[in-house]
Amino acid sequence: MLTSKQRSYLRKLANKEKTILQIGKGGICPSLVEQVREALEARELIKIHVLDNSDLAPREACDALAEQTGAEGVQVVGSRFVLYKKSRENPRIQLP
């Protein structure tokens, strides 16, 4: 569980990040979950965009992916959300 100070720090880092994945009308499928897992292991902090044609709201998608990957939802803004999970092999982000 992230503290408010850690969450604030991660939000600051996420401002500079580009969106690397999109959720469309297909929703959350097993291949998307696997891509998110791999991206979290490589980057620790990722930003995902929920397209307008998706049946999921950004908050729903964030909660579902966080649960399935063991990540923490950092923030949801508009149609984008940010996930964080500390890398097991190569941690880069040092939380306060």
Per-residue pLDDT tens digits for 50-84: 999 999 999 999 999 999 999 999 999 999 999 99
Whether residue 91 lies inside any domain: the answer is no
Whether residue 52 lies inside any domain: the answer is yes
Percentage of the chain lying above the pLDDT 70 cut? 100
Whether residue 18 lies inside any domain: the answer is yes
Confidence band (pLDDT; 50, 70, 90) for 1?
Answer: confident
Helical spans, DSSP H, in 3-86: 4-14, 30-43, 58-69
Number of domains in the chain: 1
Q: What is the pTM of this model?
A: 0.94
Per-residue pLDDT tens digits for 23-58: 999 999 999 999 999 999 999 999 999 999 999 999
Distance between CA atoms of residues 11 and 90, nearest Å: 21
CATH of the domain at 58: 3.30.110.60
